[in-house]
Structure 1
């Protein structure tokens, strides 16, 4: 297996890891997001969720780093832009994980201490920290992810490095996720609304299909890629 092929397989695996860890962390966080008073009883689950988010952040950066050698000759500006945006997304995800860790540290029973000195204060602190977790989720996997998705899918589409249907899913899904998360920020959209699935499915389909293609086939090289096409084609 050539180095380029190994890099493509590695990137594809990392994309799949980002999905497993992001969904897993969200499921583990969900009870506490709805009721911060459950923090003490849910502490092991929160720790596991936090660890999943750290793995998620590392995998997010890893996808771009693994792909960069394969894309830099085909679109250097977009390739390095993707690395930068994925790194920014990972940093925001890490901020959310750090906020959740701070929630765990404010547990009044931690190490037999009294925490910050009173349950009412702890409740306020926990609520504030959980808002940071929610904000990180909207800004990172929401807004920033929509930008980096458009960046890489533009490159893949123009250079025909993968079948066109794959980046088209991202070109559709990126803006949809952006609009949905702006709606959440403006309290126009409701995260629990079943209608949200129409906004998030395309970008999930893009990443899953791209990951599978990377593992199965890899990126087309300059000799096999078709002629560059504009986005309006």
Structure 2
């Protein structure tokens, strides 16, 4: 198996992991994100911890896609490849900040036992502030930054024909829509988690799943992959 084919397989697996982990994290966080008085109730801390673990896996997988694809992408455009890696690192960093804000709410909930009414009210306010902080990280990480990263990767794959152009076009559409949707949420046109927001996210979800399946099943385009492999061989020989 060639190194290019191995890269395609690893990248495909990582893209699938990002989708599963992202959906799992969002679903497991629901009790905390949608209950304004979570810090005063019995809580679903174990579920939230599992959600945090999913998002931590998501951050690792996001970073991994950038690192794994860099050797391939740099042969197409080194500057854009570096930009993609940096963008994925930024996306992962924002996700990690969101995890910390959610776990901080759990810590506050553990301190409500025996709290006076005035203290309880302060804890509720603090908890809501931390949830709002998470919502903003969710907007800028898996929306704005994800959209920008998608546009870079899809653009590189469209120009280099690493995958069929129909797949790359799906990525270009998905990246554009998710950025436009994030802008709409930023200006209060609709909520982040809403029908409109979900519909806008579908193309980028379809892009990542389609790309993952393509990379796992067939790898990069045969002609392009061979050409890239030949370039690598020539570079090694020159050194």
TM (norm. structure 1) is: 0.89
- The residue correspondences of 1:11-50 to structure 2 (distance < 5 A) are 11-39=11-39, 40-50=42-52
- SS in structure 2 of the partner of residue 188 of structure 1: coil
Number of residues paired by the alignment? Answer: 223
Structure-1 separation of matches of 2:4 and 2:36: 46
CA-to-aligned-CA distance 1:177-208 (integer Å, 9 cap, x gap): 11111111111123354233431111111100
Q: Are residues 1:8 and 2:8 paired?
A: yes
- SS in structure 2 of the partner of residue 106 of structure 1: helix
Deviates more, 1:3-12 or 1:126-135: 3-12
Change (3 A) 1:82 1:157: same
- Residue 146 of structure 2 corresponds to 145
Q: CA RMSD in A?
A: 2.1
- The residue correspondences of 1:131-170 to structure 2 (distance < 5 A) are 131-170=132-171
- The residue correspondences of 1:82-161 to structure 2 (distance < 5 A) are 82-109=84-111, 118-161=119-162
Where in structure 1 are there 5+ consecutive unaligned residues?
226-233
- Residue 198 of structure 1 corresponds to 199
- Residue 71 of structure 1 corresponds to 73
Work out whether residues 38 and 109 of structure 2, in 8 Å CA contact, stay in contact via their aligned partners in 1: no
CA-to-aligned-CA distance 1:10-40 (integer Å, 9 cap, x gap): 1111110111111111111123211132344
Where in structure 2 are there 5+ consecutive unaligned residues?
229-239
Structure-2 separation of matches of 1:155 and 1:97: 31
Work out whether residues 70 and 85 of structure 2, in 8 Å CA contact, stay in contact via their aligned partners in 1: yes
Change (3 A) 1:95 1:192: closer
TM (norm. structure 2) is: 0.87
Point out the structure with max Rg over C-alpha.
2
